[in-house]
A and B are shown apart, each in its own frame.
Chain A
């Protein structure tokens, strides 16, 4: 049976999740130990900052308990401590969970893209360690495909959520390509650095840092591949900038209406995107009224992020339905595959009887012509096929509907297998 044992942001705080994480560099070793100590056929460990999960396949129903014991021993924890913080799902529930996790529907920020890579990473580690068998491998292929479908067919991954991502998204909405766009950084706060870094990574050019202390500005400019300028050149810099990120710790406003108005003449109608992430604000709010000027303060960025999240949640409903369908298809497929050994046996048995009878008949009839032999072959084969057709279909059907165990027993008895 397939099962998953884990801890996630839904069941435990960060400190607990951290305490149960498995070190990345010895993951292969851990997987091998896990497999042998818990008596598993297959094992995979998914480890992110929001979850630690062990996916496994085993013959015995006691395997999940063995995994819990392994985790307790590994992290030197008492099983009773962990019980309220962890969850263990089996069979259909485990499979559904795997699909939802990969599709980022179980994530803290629904739709975040990192999880897909982390899931891939987990399977790759298991593959390298040799603890990945056909069942988990099939689960890997189907969950990843479903996750990609959910992402491409619904708007699950659309819309930026973090403030710095929202800033970049807005910049892209205004300017399209960020290449050759000039970024002006006013002040050197941590958040403005992050936003500037993302813009530069997105292709924006020539980061200019204006700061009160030129040394600090120069240091930051070097890190971002730009240049530094003193604060009193602000107006000249505003005239050539496309995107301005302001995040000084100043008490009053730094970029005033006359500053932007003065720069507008030289800008010839090019749009200007001002991102004010300082509290208290750096940019005079009236600036937003100027044509071609887009001014977003921290609250506005949060509002966009909220709107994006609402959008995502709406999309998540569609994605849930899609993922559920995919998970059910996988379950059906898996169950019908469970019937395969019996089907093979059934067919083998039918053929065996056919061969024996043909030999007997041949012994009685003496030598046959080629035509006669062919006729005998095809007639007997047809009988076997027709007889086995109905049970084959019924068996596959039964497996899909989950009635397998009783019916398999019955069919075995009926056919003397």
Chain B
């Protein structure tokens, strides 16, 4: 229970981000901007502390079940967002990231801690595979966010009535470029996650592929992103179609994550 205070403090700090998003979206003021960066950094540090505590308590890498899954995913998303923010200075992304990070930490705080003991959780593959997978999810989520910014702003521009996003988002070109770059990173992680997942499955069950929905959905997402990346690279494809495909890819990724951490019946543990 003692470690939970870190999670609650994290939740409190992420609230600043949500408030900032509300102020930014409704009044288009940025007066909370620097406070938000500070609070998010601090929340991130506290959440890191929480995760290491959880690791100790659980005795295995804390990414199993809704509680740890949501918490770790929020952590990874905030990390990717902060890295993106530092390198691109695009704060419009926070419109999506802050509420989602808050929501995930809230879900984690409300969900009971999974106390499952399973020898499979002691495997070294758990931290490696889940870290890779979650970084993949987080990067693809951030890329999805950039794609959304692209699509919404494109619609505003095309309808010749610039509104909210016209004033908030960076240019279409920039949304597209940043999204493309993060997709490439996320795809790399996803690929490694799938490979380590196959290896883990082999070491635990003696077979690489178990025909589960999770495997299929991960593979589907992977194929979508391959198509997306190839189309971008080979034919300079981008913009609207790329953003739409990115949204589709992310929907499949989301399904994979939910399947793993929420929908899956207890007992049927990874891989």
Contact = CB atoms under 8 A, between A and B. Distances in A.
Interface of A: 153, 155, 158-159, 170, 172-177, 268-271, 288, 291-292, 294-296, 300, 303-304, 307, 311, 318
Contacts of A307: 161-163
Interface string B148-192: 000001000110111100110011111001000000000000000
A294 to B, nearest CB: 6
A176 B171 contact: yes
Given A175-B171, A311-B167, A318 B160 contact: no
A155 B171 contact: no
Contacts of A294: 157-158, 160
Contact of B174 (A176, A270, A271): A176
A320 to B, nearest CB: 15
B151 to A, nearest CB: 12
B241 interface: yes
A307 B237 CA distance: 32
B26 to A, nearest CB: 12
A173 B172 CA distance: 6
B29 A318 contact: yes
Contacts of A291: 240
B205 interface: no
Interface of B: 28-29, 31, 153, 157-158, 160-163, 166-167, 170-174, 177, 235-241
Given A173-B171, A176-B172, A307-B162, A155 B28 contact: yes
Contact of A176 (B160, B161, B173): B173
A292 B158 CA distance: 8
B241 A175 contact: no
Contacts of A271: 172, 239
A168 to B, nearest CB: 12
A296 B156 CA distance: 12
B160 A174 contact: no
Contacts of A174: 157, 171-173
A83 B136 CA distance: 72
Contacts of B162: 173, 304, 307
B160 A300 contact: yes
A187 to B, nearest CB: 21
What 7 A-B pairs are tightest by C-beta distance, nearest first?
Answer: A176-B173, A176-B171, A300-B160, A176-B174, A173-B171, A175-B173, A174-B172
B267 to A, nearest CB: 48
Nearest to B169: A173
Which of B160, B238, B239, B240 gathers the greatest number of chain A CB atoms within 10 Å? B160
A158 to B, nearest CB: 7
A281 to B, nearest CB: 13
Contacts of B177: 176
Nearest to A301: B160
B232 to A, nearest CB: 11
6 contacts: A173-B153, A175-B173, A176-B170, A176-B171, A269-B238, A294-B160
Contacts of A155: 28, 167
Given A173-B166, A294-B157, A304-B162, A268 B236 contact: yes
A183 B28 CA distance: 33
A269 B243 CA distance: 13
Given A175-B172, A175-B173, A269 B157 contact: no
A324 to B, nearest CB: 17
Contacts of A172: 171
Given A173-B166, A269-B238, A288 B158 contact: yes
B79 to A, nearest CB: 26
A318 B29 CA distance: 10
A290 to B, nearest CB: 10
Nearest to A158: B167
Given A172-B171, A173-B171, A175-B171, A268 B235 contact: yes
Contacts of B236: 268-270
A172 B157 CA distance: 12
Contacts of A170: 157
Nearest to B28: A155
A173 B174 CA distance: 9
Contacts of A288: 158, 160
